[in-house]
């Protein structure tokens, strides 16, 4: 996501048009609307060069190293001033890819699980407290919520699907709604 991809003309809902997406070869335009909560989270990342990516692994790693140096309690030894590899095999990129995004989530889940075990040493280390999850789980759960609140057609439009059958795969059926209907109708 880049600042130039976000149309902020309407203050209630911004429109994000990705530079590329998986159905563009079908000449389908992808449009993602961003409401007030998303706008609030995204706002700090939009004050940059319009063509630069809002979320950069390279910036994140540079900030991480600066923070580690800032929190250091002892004087830095001359041999430790710059411990970067001279020619690393791979550098952090300018933007997240599907793989790097999932890799970052995996690392965060493992670190959170480790920290939780440190806080609660009585829980066995083998027991996983923070399970691994996939980015698409967010899309599925939000699709289910939208379907429950606004119906299948609204979920289809928000997800960018042409067919309601595809949306039904993403948005799970609300069993509670069926129970409520049968309680009313008998």
pLDDT digits (tens, 9 = 90+) for 18-30: 888 777 777 777 8
Tell me if 160 sits within 8 A of 23, measured CB to CB. Answer: yes
For residue 8, pLDDT beyond 80: yes
Q: What is the pLDDT of residues 70-92, one digit of tens each?
A: 888 888 777 766 666 677 777 78
Q: List, in sequence order, the alpha helices (H) in the chain.
A: 36-42, 57-71, 98-119, 136-150, 152-159, 164-170, 175-185
> What is the tens place of the pLDDT at every residue in 104-144?
889 899 999 999 999 999 999 889 988 888 888 888 888 88
Kindly tell me if the per-residue pLDDT of 41 is higher than 90: yes
Looking up tokens 């790693």 gives 61
The pLDDT of residue 166 is above 80 = no
Would you state the pLDDT for residue 43? 92
Which candidate, 140, 128, 148, places its Cα nearest to that of 167? 140
Helix (H, G, I), strand (E, B) or coil at 34: strand
Tell me what the mean pLDDT of segment 152-174 comes to.
Answer: 78
């Amino acid at each position: 996501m880049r600042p130039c991809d976000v149309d902020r003309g309407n203050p209630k809902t911004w429109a994000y048009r990705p530079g590329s997406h998986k159905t563009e070869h079908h000449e389908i335009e992808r449009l993602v609307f961003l409401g007030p909560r998303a706008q609030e989270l995204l706002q700090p990342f939009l004050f940059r060069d319009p063509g630069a990516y809002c979320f950069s692994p390279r910036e994140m790693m540079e900030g991480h190293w600066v923070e580690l140096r800032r929190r250091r309690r002892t004087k830095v030894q001359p041999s430790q001033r710059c411990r970067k590899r001279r020619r690393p095999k791979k550098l952090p990129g300018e933007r997240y890819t599907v793989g790097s995004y999932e890799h970052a989530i995996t690392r965060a889940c493992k670190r959170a699980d480790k920290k939780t075990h440190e806080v609660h040493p009585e829980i066995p280390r083998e027991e996983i407290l923070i399970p691994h999850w996939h980015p698409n789980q967010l899309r599925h759960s939000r699709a289910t919520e939208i379907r429950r609140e606004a119906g299948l057609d609204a979920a289809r439009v928000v997800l960018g699907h042409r067919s309601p059958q595809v949306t039904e795969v993403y948005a799970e059926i609300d069993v509670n709604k069926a129970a409520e209907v049968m309680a009313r109708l008998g």
